[in-house]
Amino acid sequence: MRKETEYLKKEGTNKKLLRAELLFAPPLIIAPVLVSVFFINDWFVRGFSTGISDYNGEILLAIIILSGNILFDIPFIKSLKTLSRK
Amino acid sequence: MRDMKKLTTAKQKIVHQQIEMKNKIGSIQFEAHWFRRVFHTFAASFLIYYMLPDEPWITTLKTGFAVGVVFFVFILEYLRIKGKIRSSDFFGLRKYEEKRPASYLYFGVAILILLVFFPQQIAIPCILCACFSDPIIGEIRHRYGKKEAYIIGFLICMFFFLITWHTVDMSIMFFVSIFGASAAVIGEAKKFWLIDDDFMIQILPAVILLILWQGFLFGGINILPAELILPI
């Protein structure tokens, strides 16, 4: 049985960890938001304003992507702040 | 008396250092934990693939790009397992991933297969399951237990299938959603050493839905709903 929560320990310091996280953090947080905005915009322009319901799936997806990401981004940013203080 | 005092302070120092070290390791685990979760949710961004135009040269370009990214990750993992790159340089890697491909490679390969070979009506809910159900199941399992995690996970997966298949007949919608969600939860729950759950949670429901769709098609009924994302 593998141990699910055990991670490989880094030999470096917190600085190295922070650098790795800070490098990845902006695209990880911004990309899903941009994609959601893109879906919402497309739904509004091609669907809502023209009265075509075929685009309703895009708004549903945008809401799922946005809310799902916000749900996990908040603790991630909090943990990042905690690490940067150490 | 003085020696005893010295000994106590030395002991206290060691205990203090041990606590500090434990906190440090704990914080690293905590960081990696959220880092992995956010990597999962971020992957939902790849759904933009369906938004890109269907013109042949763009299809070649976007497929080529997706294959290129996965190939790059594949090379990276090959070098890591062969020892050319240190595993400790990879942030958030789990211990059991040290001698086998890391889960992000499985995740990437599964998404690539879904994007290229499956219709989006099947691929989208499977990708959403891996992006959101997987981390939610992980969190609930961590806090409340396995049973609760899989029940809630099943409901969330079912929600994704219902959303994608909402335009078809009600009975087909529920039939497909129950099958898809069950397969996704089984894919997540069943642990194999070589095949990661990040792969199984996507491919297992996709293959089952593909068989269902083809089965119905063989009987003369096309159950596939309208596309959820229309290319620009």
pLDDT at A15: 65
Give the residue on A whose Cα is nearest the Cα of B89: A10
Q: How far is A51 from chain B (nearest CA, A)?
A: 15
To 10 degrees, what angle do helices B197-218 and B103-117 make?
20
Going by C-beta distance under 8 Å and a sequence separation of 6 or more, which residues neighbour residue A83?
Answer: A14, A17, A18, A21, B27, B31
pLDDT at B190: 83
Encoded amino acid at B1, one letter? M
Most confident of A10-19, A76-85, B33-42, B168-177: B168-177
Where on the phi/psi map is residue B94: left (φ > 0), alpha (ψ -120 to 50), or beta? beta
B227 and chain A in contact, CB less than 8 A: yes
Residue A1 has pLDDT above 50, yes or no: no
Beta carbons of B42 and A32 less than 8 Å apart: yes
3-state secondary structure of A23: helix
Look up the ipTM and state it: 0.84
| Per-residue pLDDT reduced to its tens digit, B29-62 | 556 788 889 999 999 999 999 999 988 999 999 9
Residues lower than pLDDT 70 in chain B: 1-8, 15-31
Tell me if chain A has a CB within 8 Å of the CB of B192: no
How is B32-65 classified by DSSP, letter by letter? HHHHHHHHHHHGGGGGGGGGS---HHHHHHHHHH
Instruction: Provide the residue ranges of all domains of chain B, joining segments of one domain with +.
Output: 2-218
**pLDDT of A12 higher than 60:** no
> Global pTM?
0.85
Mean of pLDDT over chain A:
83
| In contact, A32 and B45? CB cutoff 8 Å | yes
CB contact under 8 Å between B35 and A24, yes or no, is yes
pLDDT at A55 over 70: yes
B41, A72: Cβ pair inside 8 Å? Answer: yes
Q: When comparing pLDDT for B29 and A53, which is higher?
A: A53
Mean pLDDT (whole number) for A40-57: 93
Question: What is the rounded CA–CA span in Å between residue A13 and residue B157?
Answer: 39
Residue B194: closest CA among B115, B105, B112, B116 = B105
B91 contacts A68? CB cut-off 8 A: no
More confident residue, B131 or A81: B131
